[in-house]
Structure 1
Amino acid sequence: MSNQNYQITLKNHLTFLWPCIIANCLIIYFYYLIFEKSEINLLIILLFLSIFIVNILPVLLIHIQYFLTNRNMLFKIDSLNKKIEYSQNGIIKKLDFSEINRLISFRSYGYRSWYLFEAYEYLKIITNEGDEILITCLLIPDARDRFEGLLKIRAEEKFRLLPFAK
């Protein structure tokens, strides 16, 4: 396939939010099973507050930030002609694969772990002129692998506690 078009879709949203939705449903289900006839006490509130702060809040913050980073972006890859075209907020830019200098992949330290935010990552494409393009997993879910294959450039990997796009 020579031309590939990408934009944030409902499918991409659900792919990354699905684990969070399932986890919340399970937490609520177990809460009712265990504490159905009990009064709510401080320990229960602290337990659920800690789960929210450690796992659910980061997912929501990263997801919103990734959405805001790549919303209204249309990204086209023409692998046959070795060109990239992308537009965001009415501005269209084009570049050849040869104009890309390096790739940097950002992931969380919890990558491939049990954290709900472990699947979130983004790729920073740096051109020869020093311009940066941020591609979040909401726009292109497997951006690092895709661009490494197309450009034959190995992405530098950086890990953060929470991989907010900068």
Structure 2
Amino acid sequence: MVKFSITLSNHIKVTAFTWQTSILYFVICYFLGFDLEGTLVGFGLFSLFIIPSFYLHLEYWITNYGQVVEIENHSLKITKKGVSNNYQFSEIKKVIVYKSASLDKGGIPFSTMEYYNYARIILKSGEEIILTCLLSPRIDKITDQITGVAKERKRGFFHLL
């Protein structure tokens, strides 16, 4: 059995590039002597990348808050707020993974937003289950374990739910 949930470690892994970018911005501002014009222009450019990342983080956190995902014996168990739902892999129509190509092996992410990825599991009943990178920074770790199901990959830069 494999179990996934939102953890502090996952938060740190997903936001690591955001923190690195923030530290770099403040170091540059320090060396520029916190010049008002330079700092404001830099903050404007910095905000173009950071604000969407914070939005995605909040949206993903709200979506999967309190959720535990367990995969065992060809079934997917989702527990949220004390209510558990079991789904056999045979009940799943398709899995769509939304992930930046820069997260593939050898890829280089250029923005903090590219670290946010998620999977949409579409059941034959029409119901959808969303699993975000806050459950596992590499959502592939979850979806690769769902076998015998059609999978699709959608690449992009900014993945809203």
After TM superposition, the score normalised by the length of structure 2 is 0.87
Q: Which moved more, 1:66-75 or 1:153-162?
A: 153-162
Q: 1:10 maps to which residue?
A: 8
Which residue in 2 is equivalent to 1:118?
114
Per-residue deviation, 1:159: 3.8
2:23 is the alignment partner of 1:31: no
Cα pair 1:105 1:158 within 8 Å, conserved: yes
Work out the number of aligned pairs and report it: 157
Q: Which has the larger radius of gyration?
A: 1
Q: Please, what is the CA RMSD of the aligned residues? A: 2.0
Identity %: 24
The residue that corresponds to 1:70 in the other structure is 64
Q: What is the CA–CA distance in structure 2 between the aligned matches of 1:90 and 1:19, rounded to whole Å?
A: 34
List alignment gaps of at least 5 residues for structure 2: none
Q: Deviations over 1:36-68 (max 9, x none)?
A: 5xx412x5312321221x211111110111111
Corresponding residue number in structure 2 for 1:107: 99
- Structure 1 residue 88 and structure 2 residue 88: aligned? no
| Aligned residue among 142, 146, 160 for 1:150 | 146
Q: Deviations over 1:64-96 (max 9, x none)?
A: 111110001011110xx2111111123210011
Per the TM alignment, residue 6 of structure 1 is displaced from its structure 2 partner at its CA by 1.1
Q: Deviations over 1:1-35 (max 9, x none)?
A: xx011110000000011111111111101111123
Q: Which runs of 4+ in 1 moved over 6 A?
A: none
1:84-143 alpha-carbon deviations (Å, 9 max, x no partner):
111112321001111111011123587643111111100000111111000001012223
- Which structure 1 residue ranges, 5 or more long, are not aligned? none
